[in-house]
């Protein structure tokens, strides 16, 4: 995204929700880590136990094969990752692969700011300060 623009304006419902650089807007996204994990074992039992882990925000099924199942797990707390791995081991499963796949893309930024209620004082002040800055120059 940084290769395409140095400032972004997000519009929703006919209103400018937020304006800023991709880095500024990305920094305002809620902190989370996303891991893609491919496991062998009883996937239904794993997801049920994972659903009880504090700090695990969501479990998204990516693919399901005869031997392995892949998930994206969104964590609000990195410590939850240890609990995820423990569940797999406790249920006799096996982790085939895992990697971080955090999404700081423009798509995530747009989704966050277009769905969020931006009528807070802090949001208004950021929009106002950005607008004042843009009055001094163009949106290049």
Q: What are the sequence ranges of the domains in the chain?
A: 8-29+104-136, 33-100
* Cβ-Cβ contacts under 8 Å for 94 (sequence gap 6 or more): 39, 40, 41, 88
Q: How confident is the model at residue 28 (pLDDT cuts 50, 70, 90)?
A: confident
- Dihedral sign for Cα atoms in the order 81, 46, 112, 6: positive
Q: How confident is the model at residue 103 (pLDDT cuts 50, 70, 90)?
A: low
Q: How confident is the model at residue 66 (pLDDT cuts 50, 70, 90)?
A: very high
Topology of 33-100 in CATH? Alpha-Beta Plaits (3.30.70)
pLDDT for the residue numbered 29? 75
- What 3-state DSSP class applies to 1? coil
Residues 33-43, mean pLDDT to the nearest whole number: 93
Structural contact between residues 17 and 113, judged by C-beta atoms closer than 8 angstroms: yes
**CA 59/CA 22 separation, integer angstroms:** 27
pLDDT for the residue numbered 5? 79
- pLDDT of 127 higher than 90: no
Backbone angles phi, psi at 21, to 5 degrees: -75, 160
- pLDDT of 49 higher than 60: yes
The more confident residue out of 36 and 133 is 36
């Amino acid at each position: 995204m940084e290769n395409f623009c140095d400032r972004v304006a997000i519009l929703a419902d006919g209103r400018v929700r937020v304006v800023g650089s991709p880095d500024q807007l990305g920094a305002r996204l809620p902190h989370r880590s996303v891991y893609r994990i491919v496991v062998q074992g009883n996937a239904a039992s794993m997801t049920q136990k994972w659903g009880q882990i504090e700090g695990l925000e969501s479990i998204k099924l990516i693919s399901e094969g005869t031997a392995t199942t892949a998930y994206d797990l969104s964590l609000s707390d990195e410590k939850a990752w240890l609990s995820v791995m423990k569940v797999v081991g406790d249920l006799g499963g096996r982790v085939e692969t895992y990697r971080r796949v955090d999404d700081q893309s423009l798509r995530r930024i747009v989704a966050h700011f277009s769905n969020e209620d931006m009528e807070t004082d802090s949001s208004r002040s950021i929009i106002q300060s950005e607008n004042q800055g843009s009055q001094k120059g163009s949106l290049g």
